[in-house]
Every structure is written in C-alpha cells, then in structure tokens.
Structure 1
Amino acid sequence: MSSIVCTLFEKNYHYGIAGLVNSLYKQGYKGEIFVGYKGALPKWAEGKSSSSFNWVGSTTLNVTNDIEIHFLPLDTEYHLTNYKATFMLKLWRDLRSDCTNLFYFDPDIVIKCRWSFYEEWVNHGVAMVHEIVSNDLPFTHPIRMEWTKVIHSIGKIINHQVSAYINGGFCGVNIRDIEFLETWEKLIDTAINVYKADPKKFSSFDRTYPFWSIDQDAFNITAMCTTSPISEMGPEGMDLTYGGWTMSHATGTPKPWSKKFISNAFKGKAPSLPDNLYWLNMQGAVPLNVHSKAFIKYKVTSMLIAKFIGRFYHRP
C-alpha cells in the first residue's frame, strides 16, 4: 500500500506546514509530502531542484531518510482553498498515478494518532470530519434542499443521506474512489460558472445561498451525491469539540504560531487544544525546527501564563 500526503499554503502558513510534517513524523508516517504554494518559500524550506517529475520550479527537501517534501509552485488566481480538488487530481494523474491513497490536510492541522489508522480509515470510504459550526444540518434543511437542486442540475442523484455539515480541511481518498475528487472539482466549477461565486475568495455570499464557502459547500454536496463510499467522524475528529484522538485543527485566526496568548487571555480567550498541540509538535526530537528554541520557550511559557489568567477571565 502506498500513501501520499498533500497540503497547500501561502504566506506565514509555512509554519503550519512544519507542524503538520513534525506530527506526521511523530506518528510514523513514511513517504512523500506534496506541498503546493503561492509566493516565495521560506528559508527553511529551500531544497534541491527536483527532476524526478514534470513540475516547473519544483524543489525537494529531504526531511529524514523516510520523509521528503516536494514543494510545487502554483500558477492560479484561485484562493487556495478552492484549488484543493484540482491539486489532488493533478497529483494523482500527473505525478503519482501508482499511489493507492491520497490524503489532504489543511496547513493548520497536526495529527494525533498512529499513521496506520488513517490508511485503515480510508479503506472504509472517503474519510471526512464534521464541522462544529452548523454541524446539525438535517436532510430537510433548506440549504440541503437547495443542494439537492444543484445535484440534479449536474445530472446526479443523492446517494448518501448526510445530516451533518462537513469540514473541508481534511479528506482521505483511496484510488478506487477518485470519482469523489472529480465530482468535487465539478461542483466547484459549478459554483463559479453557474452560481457566479468568485474563485479568488473564500466566500462570495452569505449563508442563505447554496455556495457560502465554495470549496466546503461543494465538498458537502459531493458527500451527498458521490457514488463512492464515505466514512464520517464527528467534530471531535478535529478537536473542534472534546474527546478527539485523530487530529487537531486550529480553525479561525490568529493561528497558533502568531497568536498572542497573554493578551488574548485578558480578553477571556484561553489557549486552545490545537494551540497546545502545535507547540508540542515544535519541541523535542522533531525534524523541522522552524522556530528558535528561545521563541518556543517564550510561546510555551506564554501559554502557561495565559492558562492561569484564564482561571479568572472568561468570555460569557
């Protein structure tokens, strides 16, 4: 069985890439990580020009004997979140057609459990995790009814009676289920060309429209109409609520690498579990050291102080 991991980033989200890679290393992942990016690479990510596959400007960084990162510059005006499906399909079709499993993680995710679990998970269907916001989205919800119209408009039918809203920050796909990615890409194109959503933006409309978040709503619609099996976990699967053990997703802003923990604590915002886990994956015997030891110590100490302050200051 061969698996590859991919992600996308721009600007200072490269710090999140390091957290993701370190967590993969800790949990036993061995293999290639494909990173699509806009803009310039940070100094830590500078590698050697890659001639092993046809992607102009690509470079490869050997992280360990068992892990290498391929940095792939992207020429697209799309907001990167709207480019996920296309990127995954390009990897499978153009670079690694012999790959069995392909996993996408947002660059603000770290994984928490053994890597082999992910490979087991994806054998049950396309792996996905529920959102915490609007998670309860019944089959007769008006937005889902509008999504049904979208499904019929592209000549498909409902195959899964999904009742929860799914987070688009992660998915795992087995090659037998590549149809899921093809349908996801088609629905993103539908949002742009038929519903006139702006691909340069994360969101073009408010929640009363079928495509509030182009990528994520298209992902949810795909889950309804795909002919591939799907395998869902609740929001605890991303630490969006308590009890999780698979991965931790630092949703919202600011991100753990730029958050001011003490000032936030005085506003009633204590450090989150994803904050803690990001910095945990920056410490110890990790392959990517992108922060100085002094800065890591400062951040960890700041979190401890912020947790203490949080005993007295709480948001209502």
Structure 2
Amino acid sequence: MSSVVCTLFEGHFHHGVAALANSLYNYGYRGVIYAGYRGPLPTWAGNAIDCSTSQWPGASILKVTDDFQILFLPINNEYHLTNYKPNFMLGLWESFANDSNAIAYFDPDIVIKCKWDFFETWMGHGVALVHESISNDMPPTHPFRKEWEKVIKKANRQITRQMHSYINGGFCGVSKENKEFLKDWIEITNAGIKYFKLTPGQWKHSFDRTYIFYAQDQDALNITAMCSNSPVSEIGPEGMDFIAGGFTMSHALGAPKPWKKQYIRSVLMGNAPSTPDKNFWKNTLGPIKTFGNNRIKYKKLTITLASFIARFYRRA
C-alpha cells in the first residue's frame, strides 16, 4: 500500500512533530510527511525549499534524508487546527497526495512504537481508530450517543453501526476507498456548527461536559463513526499507551507536554513520568534533532530519577 502521513501543528509543538517524524523513520516509514502549520517554521526546518503551488502557496519541503522528507503546508483559515483534520486530509488527496492509497493523521504529541507496515495493514481493514481511556465504555444507550443521534438526523444521515467505545481524536487512518469517511466527518462538523453551537475557530469554550460537542473534533469523529458507511477497525486504549500493554503508539495527553515538563518538580507534585513521556525522549536523537545531546541526556536522567522517586513518594 502506498500510504502517507500528515499532522497539524503550531508553536512549540514542532518538537512533537520532530519526534513523530523520528519514530516513523526509525520504524520504516519512507516518503513524505505532510505537516500543516501556523506561525513561523521551526529553526530546524531552515533548509526547507519553496515548492509553492496554486493550491498551497507558501509550501516548502525539507529533505531529512534521501528517502524521507517533510512538506510544510501553511494553513490560512479560521478553523482551530484540531477541528481542521478531515479537511486537511481530504485536501491532501486533492493535491500533493492524490496518488496515495491511504493517509494517516497523527497529533504532534504522538510517537509510533511498531513497524510502519502494521499501520498500512490496519488501514486496509477499515478506518483505523483508537479508544480513549476516559469514557472508553460508551454503550449505544449512553445519553451522549442518544443526543448525538439528533446531530445525525440534522445531517440527514442514519446510524449504520452500534459503537460501544469512545474514540480518541489524535489518530485516524483512512484508505482511499474509505475517504467518504472524511466527507462524513466534515458534514457532521458542519451540522454541529449550524445547529449545535459548535465553534470551529476555537479550542476552548464555555460549555461544560454535558455539551454534546464538548470535545469538538473528537466528538464529531465519534458521531461520524456511528453513521458512516465506511468500515472501521478499532484498537483499545492500549493503542495510545493510555493503559498498559500497547504496542502501536504513545500519545502524551494533557499539559505540560514531554518537551516542556519538569520531571523532578512533577514527581514531587505526585505525577510520575508517563510512558508517553519516556517514549518521546527516546525519539529525540534523530534523524531530526531539536535538542542538543546534553539536553537530551539531562532529560533522560531526570526521568530515570523521577521514576525512582515515584516508587517511594506519593503526595498526600
């Protein structure tokens, strides 16, 4: 399968993009990563060469190795990047990635942990999705799902499958034969905007968790999984290291992110280094480096020390 990877980032999340790229390269991915971004490019992308087109003015490509590149694509619209995922993926199929058989989106705080071939196999079974840890058990009779049925009706769709778990929005892998799923995701988002006060231009909002689009793109993704005709292939929360036993990805949820976290201070506040913290720093040595060797050694040392402290110390 000829597949490609994409991500969206801005600001300090460029550190996560580099680690994601390193993990992909180290596990066998070759080709182009399509990175949509806002703001200035990071300094490590300073050698990127302009490759603008009429569809993507300002595009530039960085040659990491002879067989591995990152194509940076400036995003100029009102959407918050987290709400732009299906539009971005579909736009790639209509431009640079039109010959690709599959596109996998990863949030820029994820690294992979297994051979890239597995992801290609996975996407061949259906739209690749991973369960959340919170609300993972979300049966068809859950009140959110019953309210989401109203969104589906407003979008002139019907329920096509009974979902039992809540999906994390940080990863989605779609084969070309299932790209209708992305169009469905956009339609559900548009219904949320038109009828349910979804605000795609902002990530934070004033509604509480009872709001049916509280998690915005993630809730829209879950609704789409309920009503799309495209098949889906799900892995449990271990698929992102939310619980033990995973082998596919590590997803560093919450804040601070691994590249900003002060591990000794954090463990003294009762928070031990997580598996995603450790896996991020494992993927900082190359082929892209955003930190010097001494910084990387120091961070790995503090993670080891903090993990040791966590064996004996718990904050009351």
* TM-score, with structure 2 as normaliser: 0.97
Letter in 1 for 2:304: L
Could you say which residue in structure 2 is the equivalent of 1:244?
246
Could you say which residue in structure 2 is the equivalent of 1:190?
191
Letter in 2 for 1:82: N
- After superposing on structure 2, the runs of 4+ consecutive aligned residues of structure 1 that deviate more than 3 Å are 51-54
CA–CA separation in structure 2 for the residues paired with 1:15 and 1:219: 26
Q: How does 1:33-182 map to 2 (within 5 A)?
A: 33-46=33-46, 47-51=48-52, 54-182=55-183
Q: How does 1:185-264 map to 2 (within 5 A)?
A: 185-204=186-205, 205-264=207-266
Give CA deviations for 1:162-191 in whole Å, capped at 9, x if unaligned.
Answer: 011000000000001011000101111221
TM-superposed deviation, 1:203: 4.2
Letter in 2 for 1:89: L
TM-superposed deviation, 1:200: 2.3
CA–CA separation in structure 2 for the residues paired with 1:260 and 1:218: 34
CA–CA separation in structure 2 for the residues paired with 1:53 and 1:66: 26
Give CA deviations for 1:7-35 in whole Å, capped at 9, x if unaligned.
Answer: 00011000000000000011000111000
TM-superposed deviation, 1:53: 7.4
Q: CA RMSD in A?
A: 1.2
Q: Is the 8 Å Cα contact of residues 138 and 164 (structure 1) preserved in structure 2?
A: yes
Q: Is the 8 Å Cα contact of residues 13 and 108 (structure 1) preserved in structure 2?
A: yes
TM-superposed deviation, 1:49: 0.6
Q: Is the 8 Å Cα contact of residues 203 and 214 (structure 1) preserved in structure 2?
A: no
Q: Is the 8 Å Cα contact of residues 154 and 191 (structure 2) preserved in structure 1?
A: no
Letter in 2 for 1:271: P
Letter in 2 for 1:112: K
Q: Does 1:16 align with 2:23?
A: no
Letter in 1 for 2:93: W
CA–CA separation in structure 2 for the residues paired with 1:310 and 1:53: 54
* TM-score, with structure 1 as normaliser: 0.97
In structure 2, the CA distance between the partners of 1:102 and 1:298, relative to structure 1 (3 Å rule), is same
TM-superposed deviation, 1:103: 0.4
CA–CA separation in structure 1 for the residues paired with 2:147 and 2:314: 39
Letter in 2 for 1:190: A
TM-superposed deviation, 1:52: 6.8
| Unaligned runs of at least 5 residues, structure 1 | none
TM-superposed deviation, 1:51: 4.6
CA–CA separation in structure 1 for the residues paired with 2:257 and 2:267: 15
| Unaligned runs of at least 5 residues, structure 2 | none
TM-superposed deviation, 1:303: 0.6
